Amino acid sequence: MSSTETFWAEPKPTALLVLADGTVIEGFGLGAEGRAVAEVCFNTAMTGYEEILTDPSYAGQIITFTFPHIGNVGTNEEDIESVNMAATPGACGVILHAAITRPSNFRATRHLDAWLKARNIIGLGGIDTRALTGLIRAKGMPNAVIAHARDGKFDLDALKKEAAAWPGLVGMDLVPQVTSGQRFTWTETEWVWGQGYGRQENPDLNVVAIDYGIKRNILRLLAGIGANVTVVPATTAAEDILALKPDGVFLSNGPGDPAATGKYAVPVIEALIEKDIPTFGICLGHQMLGLAVGGTTKKMHQGHHGANHPVKDLETGKVEITSMNHGFAVDRDSLPGNVKETHVSLFDGSNCGLAMTDRPVFSVQYHPEASPGPRDSHYLFRRFAGLMRDRKSA
């Protein structure tokens, strides 16, 4: 579909969002047909919708974009963030306010509607996303079913029952849906204007990245600091990681409840920390590192999803504009004495970073590989490289 009129010309609604409390929101369908049950969140980013929709951390979620115009630069094959193309692509649904406009960008290769169909993502458009966002802010992120049928026929009672019966993300381990099935090596570096993506050909560091749902740009920045990156599945044993002789270990982002994934991931992280291997975690990796050092995590009311989140570095006093996507957080009050809080959110004061005082181990809740600042947080990758080189020289 290439015209805006195509979506909004139907005489009756062709898509629904049915909340667990029985609320029904009607709109017009786009993308794939069918239905999906998930948690509904809102994202405040104005750009980067393709990267957001392909972030594996969004598995089990339906994204409501607060910015009204989504799709105006189309889609392309370079901005996809998911590494494991055979796995769940990320978000299972998307909710928009305005009709998708015709792509207007020299990099565009496909209309967003066609792209959503190809990735089996269900879309709902033409609704008041401000009202839905207000509902989420007041009541928290609801469980819901998003459904799209071209003929506009729905079994409303069945959809209500399905939404009400879904248990939600607490206690849910979604990492098996998005992690890589086998080990592989990554050498691609970040994109440069006029050159495209580069290649790391002279690495002096060996990094093992544990894939809980890793994003491509994280891997590019790891390669960019001089690392040969070996990506391993989420269930890889500590002995197998140590056998690769890493200079450092990276704990990736990912979806679901960190406490559920931590049942098998935390013992591995604990064993790596005991070896004094420099360790860096992002997002879910941050939360599971918090668990591994003795802390706890908790479900957030509305989560943090967007590209305009101010975070204060308590070490320097500087404020970074960051990209975030998480519905769980590390409870700072649960952290032991040998762990210090390094970053906090200036929106709600929640924990956004930690570091061990007696080990070369640190993590952040936000996504430093994203570019809202645009490079405010890249120093974290250089810090990781410094820890690895210090250990090698020692």
Position 39 scores a pLDDT of: 98
Mean pLDDT of 185-211: 95
- Indicate the pLDDT class of residue 290, thresholds 50, 70 and 90: very high
pLDDT at 135 over 90: yes
What pLDDT does residue 7 have?
Answer: 45
Domains, the chain, ordered by start = 5-165 (3.50.30.20), 175-393 (3.40.50.880)
Of 261-265, 332-336, 368-372, 385-389, minimum mean pLDDT range: 368-372
283 flagged as catalytic: yes
Model confidence band, residue 194 (pLDDT cutoffs 50, 70, 90): confident
pLDDT of 3 reads 35
Tell me which of 97, 283, 304, 305 is the catalytic residue.
Answer: 283
pTM: 0.95
The string of pLDDT tens digits covering residues 251-283 is: 999 999 999 999 999 999 999 999 999 999 999
Q: Is 92 a catalytic residue?
A: no
Q: Categorize the per-residue pLDDT at 193 as very low, low, confident or very high, splitting at 50, 70 and 90.
A: confident
Residue 169 pLDDT class (50, 70, 90 cuts): very high
- pLDDT band per the 50, 70, 90 thresholds, residue 10: low
Catalytic residue status for 320: no
pLDDT given for residue 4 in this prediction? 38
Q: What is the mean pLDDT of residues 147-166?
A: 97
- Of 111, 326, 343, 367, the active-site residue reads 367
pLDDT of residue 12: 84
What's the pLDDT score for residue 84? 79
Band of the pLDDT at 6, cuts 50, 70, 90? very low
Residue 11: predicted pLDDT: 65
pLDDT for 318-362, tens place per residue? 999 999 999 999 999 999 999 999 999 999 999 999 999 999 999
**Average pLDDT for the chain:** 95
Cα separation, 329 vs 299, whole angstroms? 7
pLDDT digits (tens, 9 = 90+) for 101-127: 899 999 999 999 999 999 999 999 999
Q: What percent of the chain has pLDDT over 90?
A: 92
